[in-house]
């Protein structure tokens, strides 16, 4: 932990947090991309400095993905899309500072809970994770998709249609199991599939531009609340007071994030979707305004808890919990460090440094940079809509192009915007399209692997105890979701 207490370590944390806040706030520039671009620099740094910097980047960037949601209804990350509508409406109703303050404080508390569980339960949690096979991962994907169907306040059938459309988009490209090209229409650009970040920019960002052009007037959203006084109170005190009041919800959501996050390949995105979807189901039929804070708290506390818990399999087993920890494992190997159980014995100083960094990132860096980005967002949201929509169009084009430096992705983004425009006319939710694109590959790959292993014996999906428990939980969610929908229609 000595490297963290030096001036180089403190500087790395501060610059890492600043870098993460800038990257996460721009649609298309995700936390994963920020960490990936940092790797050439990390190669020349001591691991005790490079790894904490990566933690600061990822922790702050995950929160910063909510900035676009409050300004222009464009989620910066797939996790942000899980509670996009609630956060945007909340920011319009109670002010940008309060909305982002609730996001930042919820993320910080969730991250701290995830870190404490990382410190105290890494070995025990990994023991459970070792029992997961392709069968359990298949049911995890089914569980997330099922919860997503009932997460929308509209018709579950329309949510299902949007979800199926997202799953269809996820099949474009090469079959991950058999290597068979599908829906590529003789285009080499489609062989790599449709990037869900590009799709998300089009679905939520460019569709807003098309909607504004179609209406030829400002969107009929409530006027933004001005925040001339009490900025610190709006960002820090009021959200913390609400978090204390909803402490059981935050704890429950953080635990969901931890449980999903430590599963290799899951990460913060799926954790946020599962947690916020379950919360939406619980409050279906209640007053929408009363539940917006709960949904935002559920999603934000879950995603940062998952960020911390994703390091559990990475440190203990050498298995990436998400794409960021997959990159981190590459840093380990570059530096000659072998992750696994012996790492805790051979490099205790490095482990303690990582623990301390997570606590500092969530206790200090996230609130500090969160407040700065919230102040900036509060100014940007007052820009007149014609100017704002022009800027959004430019950001969408640049963001889509930047991901793969491909003009083809820009056309995909435009096409997704047109599809979203049509879906909105029919009252179909957009978030479920993204959910289908995120979970589709996980669902398909684990289904195919499980089916091949069992020689297409479908009863094998119900042979293992954990798989049975997840299947029962999925059925319970369906029953709860149908009952909640009927209750909502009766009100």
Per-residue model confidence as pLDDT tens digits over 342-385: 677 777 777 788 888 888 888 888 888 888 888 887 777 667 76
Q: What do you get for the CA distance between the two ends of the chain, in Å?
A: 57
Amino acid 424: pLDDT? 85
How many CA atoms lie less than 13 Å away from 210 in the CB half-sphere? 21
Determine the Cα–Cα distance for residues 273 and 429; give it in Å rounded to an integer. Answer: 14
Higher per-residue pLDDT: 298 or 197: 298
**Span 141-168, mean pLDDT?**
82
Amino acid 142: pLDDT? 87
What total of structural domains would you count in the chain? 1
Amino acid 219: pLDDT? 46
Determine the Cα–Cα distance for residues 204 and 187; give it in Å rounded to an integer. Answer: 26
Per-residue model confidence as pLDDT tens digits over 48-60: 788 888 888 888 8
Helix 156-170, helix 134-149: angle, nearest 10: 140
Residue 371 to residues 99, 153, 231, 243, 247, Cα–Cα distance (Å) = 11, 31, 9, 17, 22
Amino acid 348: pLDDT? 78
Is the pLDDT reported for residue 20 higher than 80? yes
Average per-residue pLDDT for the chain: 80
Determine the Cα–Cα distance for residues 399 and 264; give it in Å rounded to an integer. Answer: 28
Determine the Cα–Cα distance for residues 183 and 189; give it in Å rounded to an integer. Answer: 11
Amino acid 174: pLDDT? 86
The structure's pTM equals 0.74
Q: 87 - beta bridge partners?
A: none
Helix 7-25, helix 47-64: angle, nearest 10: 30
The domain of 19 spans 2-490
Is the pLDDT reported for residue 165 higher than 90? yes
* Residues 378/31, Cβ–Cβ less than 8 Å: no
Question: What DSSP designation does 190 have?
Answer: G
Amino acid 198: pLDDT? 85
Amino acid 442: pLDDT? 81
Amino acid 243: pLDDT? 92
């Amino acid at each position: 932990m000595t490297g963290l207490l030096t001036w180089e370590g403190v500087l790395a944390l501060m610059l890492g947090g600043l870098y993460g806040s800038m990257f996460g706030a721009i649609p298309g520039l995700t936390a994963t991309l920020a960490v990936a671009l940092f790797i050439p620099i990390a190669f020349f740094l001591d691991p005790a400095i490079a790894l904490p910097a990566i933690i600061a980047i990822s922790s702050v960037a995950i929160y910063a993905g909510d900035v676009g949601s409050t300004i222009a209804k464009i989620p910066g990350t797939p996790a942000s899309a899980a509670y996009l509508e609630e956060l945007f409406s909340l920011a319009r109703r109670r002010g940008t500072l309060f909305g982002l303050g609730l996001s930042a404080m919820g993320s910080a508390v969730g991250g701290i809970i995830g870190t404490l569980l990382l410190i105290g339960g890494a070995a025990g949690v990994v023991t459970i994770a070792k029992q997961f096979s392709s069968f359990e991962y298949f049911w995890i994907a089914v569980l997330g998709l099922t919860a997503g169907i009932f997460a929308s306040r509209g018709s579950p059938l329309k949510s299902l249609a949007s979800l199926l459309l997202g799953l269809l988009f996820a099949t474009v490209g090469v079959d991950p199991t058999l290597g068979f090209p599908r829906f590529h229409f003789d285009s080499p650009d489609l062989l790599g599939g449709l990037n869900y970040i590009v799709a998300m920019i089009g679905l939520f960002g460019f569709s807003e531009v098309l909607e504004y052009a179609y209406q030829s007037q400002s969107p009929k959203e409530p006027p933004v609340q001005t925040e001339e006084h009490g900025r610190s109170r709006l960002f820090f005190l009021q959200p913390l007071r609400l978090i204390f009041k909803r402490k059981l919800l935050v704890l429950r959501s953080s635990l969901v994030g931890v449980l999903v996050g430590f599963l290799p390949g899951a990460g913060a995105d799926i954790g946020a979707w599962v947690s916020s979807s379950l919360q939406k189901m619980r409050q279906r039929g209640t007053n929408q305004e009363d539940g917006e804070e709960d949904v935002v708290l559920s999603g934000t506390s879950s995603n940062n808890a998952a960020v911390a818990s994703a390091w559990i399999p990475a440190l203990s087993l050498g298995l990436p919990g998400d794409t960021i920890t997959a990159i981190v494992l590459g840093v380990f190997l570059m530096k000659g460090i072998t992750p696994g159980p012996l790492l805790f014995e051979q490099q205790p100083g490095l482990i303690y440094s990582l623990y301390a960094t997570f606590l500092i990132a969530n206790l200090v860096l996230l609130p500090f940079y969160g407040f700065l980005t919230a102040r900036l967002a509060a100014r940007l949201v007052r820009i007149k809509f014609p100017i704002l929509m022009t800027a959004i169009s430019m950001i969408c084009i640049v963001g889509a192009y930047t991901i793969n430096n491909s003009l083809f992705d820009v056309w995909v983004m435009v096409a997704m915007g047109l599809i979203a425009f049509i879906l909105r006319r029919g009252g179909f939710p957009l978030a479920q399209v993204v959910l289908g694109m995120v979970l589709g590959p996980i669902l398909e790959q684990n289904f195919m692997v499980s089916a091949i292993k069992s020689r297409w014996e479908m009863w094998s999906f119900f042979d293992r105890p954990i798989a049975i428990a997840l299947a029962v939980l999925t059925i319970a969610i369906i029953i709860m979701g149908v009952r909640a929908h009927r209750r909502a229609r009766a009100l």
